[in-house]
Amino acid sequence: MMTAPEIIGGTDAAALRIGPAGRMDFASLRAIELAAFETLRNAGAVSGKAAASDDEELQAYLDAGLLFAAFAGNTPVGYAGAIVAGDRLHVGEMDVHPDWQRRGLGRRLMQTLLARASARGLRGASLTTDRFAPFNAPFYASLGFRMIEGEACPERLRQILASEGLKGLDPARRIAMLLDFPG
């Protein structure tokens, strides 16, 4: 009798797949986001009650064709969602469940979104994030994003930073980042 390969709980990165997520995954994606909130809390980036994206936000990523998950077997263990804002991809959310972090899934999720954006002829990408957590701004910088501040920061991103402040995120820790595709 053939034995099914052990994927969940295994360490074989090749057994982990990045693929489109759907509406049936929303509850799992929210659970991942809530669990990953604790990673941010441990890094001092957030405090207070954990919150996750609502249906409307996840649906916007889905409608844009820019909602991807990392799957261990059929189980989502991470996800990234984006929309198109003007001539850029805007990454709205990215989380990997703490049990599955540090295996390259975050990088693969972001590369998937960036590849889609480039294939659509977009100029680049944007996001807002924490300046100091090593898996936030420094990680995105390793993918080619640069911090953008003051007058150089587009109004659209300033508004997102302002709304994050109203939601209780520390404005001193938040930063907008831009990436330009070559050519």
Ligand X SMILES: CC(C)(COP(=O)(O)OP(=O)(O)OC[C@H]1O[C@@H](n2cnc3c(N)ncnc32)[C@H](O)[C@@H]1OP(=O)(O)O)[C@@H](O)C(=O)NCCC(=O)NCCS
Does 129 bind ligand X (CB under 6 A)? Our answer is: yes
Interactions with ligand X, residue window 37-56 (CB under 6 A)? 39-40
Burial 46-56 (b: 16+ CB within 10 A, else e): beeeeebbeee
As a dihedral over the C-alpha atoms of residue 169, residue 68, residue 155, residue 41, rounded to 10 degrees, the angle is 10
Check binding of 137 to ligand X (CB under 6 A): no
Of 36, 62, 114, 169, which one interacts with ligand X (CB under 6 A)?
A: 36
The verdict on 95 binding ligand X (CB under 6 A) reads yes
Give 71 or 135: the residue with its C-beta nearer to ligand X: 135
Strands 16-20 and 67-72: antiparallel
The minimum distance between CB 170 and ligand X, in angstroms, equals 14
Q: How far apart are CA 76 and CA 44, in angstroms?
A: 26
Q: Under the rule (CB under 6 A), what is the footprint of ligand X?
A: 36, 39-40, 94-96, 101-107, 129, 134-136, 139
